């Protein structure tokens, strides 16, 4: 039986517990970019931009009404010119910055910033070979912070409508890109200060000078930004890979396992990937229980890029095949969100909701890299902790609102469906539309021998720095342990049933 309690314990599954005076979840980059710009406009002393990628050319808003620039690079120049005490620190992954060398305007901006006394640019190289700096955090004066999955770079902006024909969904070059779904959080108070400490420490770890804390005059919030949580305790969890003599930090990995173990009724998740052996094994154990929870996971149809589909999509297929063997009671589903016109929506969000009780939003995915190889940062709110008891309804509302976005309905309708069916899976399937926004079931692909070999040997998604250099014969196959434990016949229940079908 599962352990129905979740203990957030600094040093084990989180780094620090802190109180957010105000907090909210921001869905999709249209809302986030505008709010981040609004917060930066209020800055007086310190802005920390911590990210996997950063592109100075992107527009945070499309039609600014305040006289300030729309593009983030120009906005930073504008701000430091008008605010004599403001320092801006920009930390991005060094390898990811290579593509900027092919953009003359970006190179010129970076060169200008490197010479500026109050704009500090650092390329993060503090990661193992094949690892990356993957945290996505913005902190303004330690008074308000954003932590989640959205990078300030190209191909991220979209609205919650995810229209098939969106004329503003363009790269700086004018090239259109497809629908994109993402999630972050806005936090004020002590939680913002804690993330400021994390950002400054990451800057120093990457080889930068020590950054002092800014003068703080109390929590700040943004006019017009709804407040979902008030005076709520949250946990900040990290992945920091082993590097040299410094041991790794695996708080996020432990938290995922603890979350899965603690679920009673439902686990709803959105993730860019589903390729982690640790996560899959924890789910498999719960699926074996006759009265265990349901698991609903949203992924993109295929990973982005040219290497990722080989590694992540193949690994996902092997894991899902193994989990379906374990799912004798029909409690596991993997879905993809689609536009009204049938176009896949790319899921870049990293969200987990346990029952109506726990919300986790961050930068980490369900893949090995996020648990061991890359740097990550997540925040978690547990309504079962003392002082958070009034947040159950809010957490359920976040989940229902996300599902409503994908199913083309509203959160109240989703909540009613869950109550009526007593099942997250049946509620979602009852809400499906044949001519509008919808989610579709994952279908196992036919894989080539090469793809399966790459996935099983974790060639492109290793379980940490050491696994990169192990002889292949010594590696544990990605799903070998799951397959050996779960060699039972695959259940015959229907994977998906549309309403009225």
For the cut 60, the answer to whether the pLDDT of residue 18 exceeds it is yes
Q: Indicate left, alpha or beta for 408 from its phi (over 0: left) and psi (-120 to 50: alpha).
A: left
Q: How far apart are CA 118 and CA 104, in angstroms?
A: 23
In the chain, what are the domain boundaries?
21-231, 234-485
| Average pLDDT estimate for 460-471 | 49
Q: Is residue 195 within 8 Å of 214, Cβ to Cβ?
A: no
The alpha carbon of 435 is separated from its chain's Cα centroid by a whole number of angstroms, namely 29
Locate 486 and state its tokens: 């779960």
Locate 162 and state its tokens: 């995810």
What's the confidence (pLDDT) of residue 102? 72
Q: What is the pTM of this model?
A: 0.90
Looking at domain 234-485, its CATH class is alpha beta
For 95, 260, 261, 286, 418, the CA distances from 4, given in Å and listed in that order, are: 42, 10, 7, 12, 21
Pairing of strands 332-338, 294-298: parallel
Closest to 366 (Cα-Cα) out of 325, 421, 323: 323
- Residue-wise pLDDT tens digits, 38-93: 999 999 999 999 999 999 999 999 999 899 999 999 999 999 999 999 999 999 99
What's the confidence (pLDDT) of residue 314? 84
Tell the CATH superfamily of the 21-231 domain: Endonuclease Chain A (3.30.870.10)
Q: How far apart are CA 389 and CA 392, in angstroms?
A: 7
Confidence of residue 469 (pLDDT cuts 50, 70, 90): very low
- Residue-wise pLDDT tens digits, 316-354: 988 998 899 999 999 999 999 999 999 999 999 999 999
């Amino acid at each position: 039986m599962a352990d129905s309690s979740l203990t957030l314990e600094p040093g084990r599954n989180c780094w620090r517990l802190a109180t957010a005076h105000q907090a909210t979840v921001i869905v999709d980059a249209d809302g986030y970019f505008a709010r981040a710009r609004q917060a930066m406009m209020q800055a007086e002393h310190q802005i920390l931009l911590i990210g996997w990628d950063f592109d100075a050319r992107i527009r945070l808003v499309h039609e600014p009404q305040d006289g300030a620039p729309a593009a983030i690079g120009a906005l930073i120049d504008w701000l430091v010119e008008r605010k004599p005490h403001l320092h801006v620190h920009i930390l991005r992954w060094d390898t990811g910055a290579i593509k900027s060398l092919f953009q003359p305007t970006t190179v010129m901006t970076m060169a200008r910033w490197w010479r500026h006394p109050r704009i500090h640019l650092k390329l993060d190289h503090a990661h193992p070979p094949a690892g990356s700096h993957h945290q996505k955090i913005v902190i303004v004066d330690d008074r308000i912070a954003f932590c989640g999955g959205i990078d300030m770079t190209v191909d991220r902006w979209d609205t919650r409508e995810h229209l098939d024909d969106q004329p503003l969904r363009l790269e700086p070059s004018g090239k259109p890109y497809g629908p994109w779904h993402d999630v972050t959080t806005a936090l004020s108070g002590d939680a913002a200060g804690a993330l400021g400490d994390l950002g400054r420490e990451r800057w120093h770890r990457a080889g930068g000078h020590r950054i002092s804390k800014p003068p703080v005059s109390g929590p700040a919030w943004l006019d017009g930004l709804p407040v979902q949580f008030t005076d709520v305790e949250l946990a900040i969890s990290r992945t920091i890979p082993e590097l040299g003599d410094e041991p790794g930090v695996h708080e996020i990995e432990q938290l995922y396992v603890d979350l899965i173990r603690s679920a009673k009724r439902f686990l709803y998740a959105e993730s860019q990937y589903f390729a982690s052996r640790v996560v899959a094994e924890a789910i498999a154990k719960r699926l074996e229980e006759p009265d265990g929870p349901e698991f609903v996971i949203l992924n993109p149809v295929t990973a982005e890029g040219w290497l990722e589909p080989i590694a992540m999509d193949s690994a996902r297929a092997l894991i899902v095949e193994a989990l379906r063997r374990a799912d004798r009671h029909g409690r596991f589903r993997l879905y993809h969100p689609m536009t009204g016109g049938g176009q896949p929506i790319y899921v870049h969000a990293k969200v987990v909701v346990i029952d109506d009780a726990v919300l986790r939003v961050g930068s980490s995915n369900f893949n090995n890299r996020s648990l061991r190889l890359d740097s990550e940062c997540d925040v978690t709110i547990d309504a079962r902790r003392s002082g958070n008891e009034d947040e159950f309804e809010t957490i359920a509302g976040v989940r229902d609102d996300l599902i409503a976005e994908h199913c083309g309905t509203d959160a109240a309708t989703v909540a009613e469906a869950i109550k009526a069916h007593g099942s997250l899976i049946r509620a979602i399937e009852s809400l499906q539309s044949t001519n509008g926004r919808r989610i579709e079931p994952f279908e196992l692909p036919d894989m080539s021998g090469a793809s399966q070999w790459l996935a099983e040997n974790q060639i492109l998604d290793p379980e940490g720095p050491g696994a990169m250099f192990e002889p292949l014969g010594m590696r544990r196959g990605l799903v070998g342990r799951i397959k050996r434990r779960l060699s039972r016949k695959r259940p015959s229940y229907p994977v998906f049933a549309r309403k009225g079908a």
